[in-house]
Chains A and B, each alone.
Chain A
Amino acid sequence: MTSEAADSAEAVGAVAPAADPGFLQRHGGTIEYVLIPGAALAGALLVFGIFVMLFGKNPLDLYFYMYYGAFGTWFSWQNTLTRAAPLILTALCTALPAQLGMVVIGGEGALLIGALSATSAALLLQGMPPLVVQIAMVIAGVIGGGLWIMLAGALRQYRGVNETISSLLLVYIALAILNHLVEGMMRDPASLNKPSTREIGAANMIGSIPGTDVHWGLVFGLIAAIAAYILIYHTVFGFAARVAGGNIRAAKIVGLGVSKLILTICFLAGGAAGLAGMVEVAAVQGRTNANLAAGYGFTGILVAFLARQNPLAIIPVAILLGGISASGGLLQRRLGLPDASVLVLQGIIFVFVLASDALYGRIRFLKGKP
């Protein structure tokens, strides 16, 4: 989809009058990538405002509390950033395969498997120095999540099974495995009401960035997003992936190993989401239980689409959507809106963002693109 949009933008550029050099010609495309999603976001907020108005709430109050709950105070900023961390990682799970033209929506499953693997690693290595345990947790989380999505990629490549559907089915299977282990083999007998695994131990938690309440998972996310950006846009491997995503036949003709590309990209994508699971265990929950299925994987899909599958753009978008979910509690307390209102807003944003795809290359004053 992204490549199609880019193609037609180029086609429009070709017929546009060449005698319009300067700023717009060089940056029209970039402005478009900011302006159109921005307008879609504004439109979604407007519709959501009307929606809550139907329930007798003042939309201006809504916008104020949303801003206040997301970015109004240092406390809300920390809450926002804490939620943004897993979103960056789960968004990569959709954005990386998108470079190959694949639509993977199973980040939630990879997150759960990553969390389970990381917890298992920590429980097996009890008594080892915390740094060893933490590194093992990262490795286990990445490998667990990575293999989970790689399975969807392999099924696509070797069996022709649609990756969108298989990755979503794998979410439900992952949830079943998690519940099975948490209520069975891995259950901590002391967890009565909420079946959970044993705790990984306070010493093994990854803690907060000094001076804040924001955990180190945010740094993991930032590093992963930047690494993904460099991989996709500044390495031969990334170039090959984008070629294969643009035209799979051309990629085969020039001799690219498409299977290897698909499997590697899917592994990295799942690894990112698995890392998100590790972060949620090692920084927030301290153990694995059903709380981990909090929907970060699904919101991550929205983040990836809103960022137009660009790993760097994922960072600000994840912070924005982290902010929206952070403000949910305030909306509930002050306006009496149900907690699902965040889901409704996310759905409206998603719909608007997709509909806005029709606008690319159609805004007249931005047509200076070479």
Chain B
Amino acid sequence: MADGSIGLWTVPLAVLGGAIRVSTPFLFVSLGECITERSGRINLGLEGTLVMGAMSAYGISYLTGSPWLGVFAAGITGALLGALHAGICSLPRVNDVAVGIALMLFGTGLAFYLGKPLIEPTAPRLPAIDFGWWSDIPQLRAALRVNVLFLIGIALAPILYWAFRTTRWGLLIRTAGESSDAARAMGHSVLLIRLRATMVGGFLAGIGGSFLSLFYPGSWNEGLSSGQGITAVALVIFARWDPLLCLWASLAFGGAAALGPALQSVGVTSGYHLFNAAPYILTLAIMIITCSPKRTLTGAPAELSITR
């Protein structure tokens, strides 16, 4: 085996690298959506939030020279969009699924509008930590160049899992999601709980977007996200609203999404577009396997309109 040429091993390595790199936006969006859905509301607009987050992170990073400020700005943008979603949904008779679709279109449109001047310039990107220093194989080293956001995401999943079970606000969110009457009887405002949950969800989704523009692929353009946001929303459903399962599902998705580019790099180009669609096909397949028309899904918050 010649130096640097590892043949077909490139594919699993790239899939591993993809699982680490590509999964981060999935992870953040799905954890954010998990919080929102546990409070009894679904925000389909996270696709728009993701794109807005990517755009604002890139813009702020370019203007201030600090990518971390960009990440923060993306989170704030996401939280604002979340507040908009929650605000409209708190009006009587307004359907949260439809508002999500509206914000998906609004968010992407606004990001394209404001992001027009950002396509040319290059913004400072987020640094990576080199976990592959011990290896001589460049592909492995590339796969193990890990971004801090990924580590934060990995840490966040068990923290959320723990918080949902044991903390006061975790219990409040779950109460609002299982029975808004019970939450109201305890003297809490369901709308306020859902507003906060949607804002936190938007914050995380915005950060997921900042990863897209500031680390991988690491630039701003209008084709940056193609359905990662909506895939992540679907991912929450088959992760059964469990933050730990969201983590595993995101990793699986990242790997699936990396399959197309990985196969292309070893010369398999014929099914490139089909392999790129792997995450969507995988989502659909898993939803078909795990859903059932006869019962509601285990773990589904009872107030959630989408599980009916």
Contact = CB atoms under 8 A, between A and B. Distances in A.
Interface string A344-363: 11111011011101101000
Interface of B: 44, 48, 84, 88, 91-95, 97-99, 101-103, 105-110, 112-113, 116, 226-227, 230-231, 233-234, 237, 270-274, 276-277, 280-281, 283-284, 287-288, 291-294, 306-307
Contact of B93 (A1, A157, A159, A165): A1
The binding surface of chain B is classed by DSSP as helix
Given A176-B273, A184-B270, A340-B112, A159 B102 contact: no
Given A301-B101, A350-B102, A344 B94 contact: no
Contact of A344 (B113, B231, B287, B291): B113
A165 B266 CA distance: 33
A344 B110 contact: yes
B91 A159 contact: no
Interface of A: 1, 4-5, 8, 103, 105, 155, 157-162, 164-166, 168-173, 175-177, 179-180, 183-184, 298, 301-302, 305, 338, 340-348, 350-351, 353-355, 357-358, 360
A176 B277 contact: yes
Given A343-B109, A351-B103, 4 more contacts: A1-B95, A158-B293, A343-B105, A360-B93
Chain A binding surface, main DSSP class: helix
A357 B106 contact: no
B94 to A, nearest CB: 5
Contact of A357 (B94, B97, B270, B281): B94
A162 B292 CA distance: 10
A167 to B, nearest CB: 10
A353 B294 CA distance: 34
A179 B226 CA distance: 14
Given A8-B93, A103-B97, A343-B112, A165 B234 contact: yes
A339 B122 CA distance: 22
Nearest to B308: A162
9 contacts: A162-B291, A169-B227, A305-B98, A340-B109, A347-B106, A350-B105, A351-B84, A354-B98, A355-B94
A162 B107 CA distance: 23
Contact of B103 (A159, A298, A343, A347): A347
A298 B103 CA distance: 12
B274 A176 contact: yes
B91 A358 contact: yes
B99 A354 contact: yes
B293 A344 contact: no
A179 B277 CA distance: 11
A355 B272 CA distance: 42
Contact of A165 (B112, B233, B273, B292): B233
Contacts of A171: 227
B167 to A, nearest CB: 30
A172 B103 CA distance: 19
A347 B100 CA distance: 11
Contacts of A173: 277, 280-281, 284
Contacts of A155: 284, 287-288
A184 B270 CA distance: 7
A351 B86 CA distance: 12
Contact of B291 (A161, A176, A298): A161
A65 to B, nearest CB: 17
Given A172-B280, A344-B110, A302 B287 contact: no
Contacts of B294: 160
B238 to A, nearest CB: 10
B107 A347 contact: yes
Contacts of A302: 102, 105
A31 B116 CA distance: 41
Q: Which of B113, B274, B306 has the most CB of A within 10 A?
A: B113
B231 A169 contact: yes
Contacts of B271: 180
A5 B93 contact: yes
Select the residue from A166, A175, A176, A183 with max chain B CB neighbours within 10 A: A176
Contact of B288 (A5, A159, A348): A159
Contacts of A305: 98, 102
